[in-house]
Structure 1
Amino acid sequence: MWIYATVGFLLIGFWFFSSSMATESKRLERGTFFEYLKEGYVKNVRLNLEENKVDVYLTDEALKLDQFKQFKDTGSNMTAFSQPAPNYSFIVADNANFETEIEKAIQENNLATKYSNIPPDKFSSIFWNILIWILIFGAIWYFMFRRLGAAAGGPGGQIFNIGKSRAKLFDENDKVRVTFKDVAGLEGAKEEVEEIVEFLKNPEKFTKLGGKIPKGALLVGPPGTGKTLLAKAVAGEAKVPFFSLSGSDFVEMFVGVGASRVRDLFKNAKDKAPAIIFIDEIDAIGRARGKNNFTGGNDERENTLNQLLTEMDGFGTDTNVIVLAATNRADVLDKALMRAGRFDRLIHVDLPELNERKEIFDVHLKPLKLGTDVDSEFLSKQTPGFSGADIANVCNEAALVAARKNKEVIEKQDFLDAVDRIVGGLEKKNKLIKPKEKRRIAYHEAGHATIGWLLPHAAPLVKVTIVPRGKSLGAAWYLPEERQITTTEQMLDEMAATMGGRAAEEVVFGDISTGALSDLERVTKQASAMVSIYGLNDKIGNISYYDSTGQNEYGFGKPYSEETAKTIDAEVSKMIEGQYERAKDLLAKHRSQLDQLADKLLEKEVIFREDLVEIFGERIFEDDENLEPPGNAVSSLNAEPVVSEESVDKKD
């Protein structure tokens, strides 16, 4: 294309250059012209009737004269169509009078001068003008539509390829370095995908018993748990063509493009079969059909989904193409997509357990320069609820913390600071807080710590601080127990501990503040779930209004009556207020210890479990062998009455 562009610009330049040369003729007076004419110096005269311009060409004999020596090289002065440029030119006012006068002069003097009133380069001028404009518009069209094609997608960036698949192909020529050894934890999920890879490598092992290759596997789990990492490991291990793309790559503003890309994707995969197709975030095109389509118009996403369903399991789909997909919204996917024969296997990739977190830490700690006190088992105990991506972030943040302190190695405290930074937010030591407000903050955090220490099922406290972090003016760190189910008593104790901050404000100061926003949000969600989802309320009974299929996501109505809604609201309020009163009673009974804890907080700003043991004595409810700072953080006192997002309690 650069060659074409260069040739085009050369033609344009030649056209302008030759046109300018064609006009390089000297001006001549009309009277002088007739003198030259009578002397026989003029060979040819051409009148441009359109421009009233007269071009004068001298004879060869005249050009030999000293009078016209400046025109000796005029033969090399060529126009665009290889015509010599005129020697002289002038403008006439009246074409008819000039024609009569020159014809009369030629006859009277019996001259051989030729006269014409047809421009000799009229055809060439039109031809070159048309050609130049074609080149100009062609260049504009090419560059404009090339950019449009690149924006719209398709191989090569051409608009005509907009319906082509945008999948990235990994084959034997592309070395994907991620293997199953790099995927720590996720043992169950790894077994499932390893079997798929084994099927592609050694199909006879399964087919000799009558087994068939699975059509697809769907990876489902929370964000950051390693779904895409598993797919990368499959690409690195399978040694077959691997097509990777996102669900949003099918989405386009033009009608029919999504379905066309699906067809092209599967066509390419069938040509290279056996092959694997990986579609990340498949919920972008796989949402259940018929939902949220109030306009009644054509839904391009549904057309794309229909084509995907047909390609995965329809007529003529008996090919060795396996589809892997990943999503964290399996509840919104279409049932036809989820059925056996399309996605034969539903692989749950959950948050890692304690041992799995240790394996993940071991993987991410390998490239780091560690101190002797760093222990992956200890770190795994301090990060309950963390995903694989969170753990990778902790390791990276610890390295940054150590580098900020100009250390040669990363020590244990750097990892603890990294957990604080990720969970609680950036520490703001320079934030100015009035002494009166600081005292309220101290009692608020001391209230959380006191209730959490006194109740048997509350998460044991590890660390309390009144140093502002993120949007919080204070925070309390807990190490929640890892459990699969939760009883009513456990949830009620957690609610009471969460309300301990506001309860301490009322007990000590006789009023309450806006600082308990995140606490109220947390307990409201807990109480609502207990009443309307988990069936843990006596008045509502063993009824759950939770819809795991997502069918009511776009509904306008509630799955219960207005009377039931009133009852649910009343029971939620009753439950929260009951735990609030319980927290106030406990704090009133232990007021002296609450005051000691608040005073220590004001003095040290940060206190640990040992300080609580000194004030309250050892807890006798449970085994605290794993309690070492810090654990998960729960935001307690907000700096603003209204915040746009949860502060720091996302992990618990």
Structure 2
Amino acid sequence: MSTEQDKDRINKSSRANRPQKPYKVFRINWLYVVMLFIILFSIVSRSSYITKEIGWSEFEQTMLSQLDVDKIVVVNKEVAEIYIKQERLNDPKYKKISEGLFKSKIGPHYKLSIGSVESFENKLEKAQQDFAKKDIIDVRYQKRTNWLNILSWFLPVGLIILFWFVLLRRSTTGSGGLGGSIFNFGKSTAKLMDKDKKSTVTFDDIAGLKEAKIEIKEIVDFLKNPETYTKLGAKIPKGVMLVGPPGTGKTLMAKAVAGEAKVPFFSLSGSEFVEMFVGVGASRVRDLFKQAKEKAPSIIFIDEIDAIGRSRGKANAFQTNDERENTLNQLLTELDGFGTNTGVIVLAATNRADILDKALLRPGRFDRHIYLELPNKQERKEIFDVHLRPIKKAEDVDIELLASLSPGFSGADIANICNEAALIAARKKKEIVEQDDFMEARDRVVGGLERKSKIISPKEKQIVAYHEAGHAVVSWYLKNVDSLVKVSIIPRGKSLGAAWYLPEEHQIITKAQFMDQICAALGGRAAEEIIFNEISSGALDDLEKVTKQAYNMVAYYGLDEEVGPISFYDSTGQTERLFGKPYSENMAKLIDKEVQDLILTAYKVTKKLLIDHKQELEKLAQLLLKKEVVYKEGLEKILGKRNPEISTEA
């Protein structure tokens, strides 16, 4: 007995602890109400047309002459409602008028359009001349308000108003946040990160960029401990401009600031200020700084600020955008105007600092400019270490070699290599990522995917083999060319073959180095001419690089004796927007002539070198046709140990 009571008690307690389902409150949906109203309106309006309309002839011959009419009611001097006597409704000819949902024996049973009251009275009087006095029909006049006609006018208008009301309500309560309503297009669209919603990126996730991190950390430290700086009379910079090539970590640095700072962080892109509405950009700038001041101390990050910060000047006269300039003017005022801007630090990032307005870059607005350059070998190694943390890699992975083989790579490029290596290993069903996977990923990022299925005729394949062998032989014997890693004639991307080098990093390049690089690039075309006594279009990419490099030597670097130590390079970017060249026609002719002479001289040196080593050229080309890829060991067997002493300057 006690056991059953215990079970009942346990069941009651479990039911008591069970979460109660909330009662569903029945709410009438406005859409159903409107639909019901439309249905009722259509039914009622339809019922008004159930009364049969007749003409005067039918009325006179069928009803009036037979003394079937009880009375006539003239409504609004337009329509005469005819009521049939009750005892005559049983007549078969009136049987149909009592059928229908809204009809009864009361009437009106018919209606007649009268035209004018005077005409109707004359006709009626004439038709009743032979009637006895007791049979004269009673005619009454009434004025009525036709609500159905009024509703037929107001219902469409009401539906339109209801539609806009629902649309505005949804846009106001939508997921757009502050900018969700269409009336909030002047509000800032910046994303706010605070203690509840922080970025997961920290300074530990940023490898390299040591100097940049020190300056950024100083700003974060000021926001955390302002007394350390203010007691000495120091003022923290109001704005910090992050400048550098794409992929060097500008946005990543800002994310790290958002993750490290204990203050509100507003982030948005420069393009979010500009809309199709006039004045929206300036309004959003004001609203952004208003929010930031309310939450001070705070940080504002504007990515790609060149979208609104382009230089204002005569060069932009043909492409001016008043809305963008108004936005820039408001931003300049907010950064350093008459209004106070205490406790708000502005971070901005761009890779086009040369086109920014000078007023934006001056001290007082952006006091500090931090330049993020492409990483050197040691920094690339640190970046590889960061991106290899989540990857299951083999123990024999040589990070030092990977860093050496990726000169000129940005942090984003290195992250892409690591991800591609993991994808390649997964595609091969491997458990770990090995060194070969990283090398293949590097080749894919640089040259594109291998296209072994691309059909090439034997003749074209032979031309490609001698072309790449020409690059390899010239590079092997020239003093100032980077060492070769491998030569391949497997199509990759748009190229049909490639010579891969292990480049050394140089901060400055001498004229001899430029000339040797030009000769190495011309080696493929020269080999085709020597072996086949004809040239092909396969050297297009090489010729493009050679021509650009030669023009840089003559017009920018001042390395030509005839032109002299003159440079027409403009670091401000102003000449890009000019229609003419910054030099005369005579100077243009001289530059063209010197560039042509320089390239032809290098081509002669290249041909002579290949003729002297024609035997090695043919051996290497045959080996490429056999194996398709020749590595450094195979090159040493044919060309010997690399000990270049030849130079184009010798």
TM-score grouping bracket, smaller chain normalisation: 0.7 to 0.9
Cα distance in 2 for residues equivalent to 1:570 and 1:399 = 51
Q: Any residues of structure 2 matched to 1:140-219 within 5 Å, and which?
A: 155-219=178-242
Letter in 2 for 1:16: S
In structure 1, how many angstroms separate the alpha carbons of the residues matched to 2:542 and 2:319? 43
CA shift at 1:17, angstroms?
Answer: 3.5
2:109 paired residue number? 88
Taking structure 1 as reference, are residues 389 and 535 closer, same or farther at Cα in structure 2, changes over 3 Å only? Answer: same
Greater shift in the superposed pair: 440-449 or 246-255: 246-255
Q: Does 1:617 align with 2:617?
A: no
Matches within 5 A, 1:56-67: none
1:257 deviates by: 2.4
Q: 1:15 aligns to what? A: 41
Match of 2:340? 317
Q: Does structure 1 residue 290 correspond to structure 2 residue 313?
A: yes
Once residues 167 and 161 of structure 2 are traced to their aligned partners in structure 1, the CA distance between those partners, rounded to angstroms, is 10
2:403 matches 1:380: yes
Deviation digits for residues 481-526 of structure 1 (CA, Å, limit 9, x no counterpart): 0122222222211111111111111221222211111111111111
1:549-582 CA deviation, whole Å, 9 max, x = no partner? 1222212232222222222222212221111111
Deviation at 1:86, TM superposition (A): 5.8
Segments of structure 2 that go 5 or more residues without pairing to the other structure are 1-27, 646-650
1:450 to partner: Cα distance:
0.7
Label 1:604 to 1:69 Cα distance change in 2 as closer, same or farther (>3 A): closer
Whole-angstrom CA distance in 2 between matches of 1:85 and 1:223 = 88
Moved more, 221-230 or 267-276: 267-276
Report deviation, 1:199. Answer: 1.4
Q: Distance in 1 between matches of 2:568 and 2:512?
A: 22
SS at match of 2:393: coil
Q: 1:471 & 1:619 partners in 2: Cα distance?
A: 30
Structure 1 counterpart of 2:221, one-letter code: E
Partner of 2:161: 138
The 3-state SS of whatever aligns with 1:421 is helix
Report the Cα offset of residue 480 of structure 1.
Answer: 0.8
Query: Are positions 1:360 and 2:383 aligned together?
Result: yes
Determine whether 1:606 maps to 2:629: yes
Q: In structure 2, what residue type is equivalent to 1:115?
A: R
Q: Do 1:74 and 1:85's aligned partners in 2 also have CA atoms closer than 8 Å?
A: no
Q: Between 287-296 and 507-516, report the one with greater CA deviation.
A: 287-296
- Change beyond 3 A, Cα 1:182–1:56: farther
My pick for the range that moved more, 185-194 or 133-142, is 133-142
Preserved CA contact (<8 Å) 1:197 1:238:
yes
For 1:9 and 1:148, locate their aligned partners in 2 and report how far apart those are by CA, in whole Å: 23
* Alignment match, 2:9: none
SS in 1 for 2:375: coil
Q: Deviations over 1:102-160 (max 9, x none)?
A: 79989954999773353x232x235423431322333565689999999xx99555443
Unpaired runs of at least 5, structure 1: 78-83, 623-652
SS in 2 for 1:358: helix
The TM-score with structure 2 as length reference comes to 0.84
- Provide the residue aligned with 1:648 in structure 2: none
User: Which residue of 2 is the match for residue 580 of structure 1?
Assistant: 603
- Residues 88, 39 of structure 1: alpha-carbon distance in 2 compared, 3 angstrom cutoff: closer
Q: How far apart in 2 are the matches of 1:107 and 1:178?
A: 107
Q: Equivalents in 2 of 1:7, 1:74: separation in Å?
A: 23
Deviation at 1:458, TM superposition (A): 0.1
Structure 1 residues 140, 464: CA separation in 2 closer, same or farther (over 3 Å shift)? same
SS in 2 for 1:244: strand
Amino acid at match of 1:316: G
1:422 to 1:55, Cα distance in 2 relative to 1, 3 A: farther
- Give distance in 2, aligned partners of 1:147 and 1:37: 65
Say whether residues 1:250 and 2:276 are aligned partners.
no
- Superposition deviation, residue 337 in structure 1: 0.6
Q: CA deviation at 1:339?
A: 0.7
Instruction: Note if 1:452 corresponds to 2:475.
Output: yes
Contact kept? 1:179, 1:236, Cα under 8 Å = yes
Partner of 2:16: none
1:636 matched residue in structure 2 = none
Moved more, 17-26 or 173-182: 17-26
Q: Answer whether contact 1:26 1:87 (CA < 8 A) is retained.
A: no
Per-residue deviation at 1:272? 2.0
| 1:305 aligned partner | 328
Partner of 1:116: 141
Q: Distance in 2 between matches of 1:394 and 1:147?
A: 45
Describe the SS at the equivalent of 1:463. strand
Structure 1 pair 137/379, CA: closer, same or farther in 2 (3 Å)? same
Range moving further from structure 2, 136-145 or 373-382:
136-145
Point out the structure with max Rg over C-alpha: 2
Distance, in Å, in 2 between the alignment partners of 1:460 and 1:412 is 21
Contact 1:27 1:89 in 2 (8 A): yes
- In the alignment, residue 547 of structure 1 is paired with which amino acid? D
Q: Report the counterpart of residue 361 of structure 2 in structure 1.
A: 338
- Aligned: 1:506 with 2:532: no
Following superposition, the deviation at residue 475 of structure 1 comes to 0.9
Helix, strand or coil at the partner of 1:301: helix
Deviation at 1:621, TM superposition (A): 5.2
Residue in structure 2 matched with residue 348 of structure 1 by the alignment: 371
Q: 1:296 to 1:438 in 2, by over 3 A?
A: closer
Amino acid at match of 1:471: K
Q: State how far apart, in whole Å, the 2-side matches of 1:126 and 1:270 are.
A: 58
Aligned: 1:45 with 2:104: no
Larger displacement relative to structure 2 (530-539 or 335-344): 530-539
Q: 1:245/1:89 Cα in 2 relative to 1: closer, same or farther (>3 Å)?
A: farther
Q: Report percent identity of matched pairs.
A: 56
| Counterpart in the other structure of 1:565 | 588
Counterpart CA distance in 2 for 1:272 and 1:502 is 65
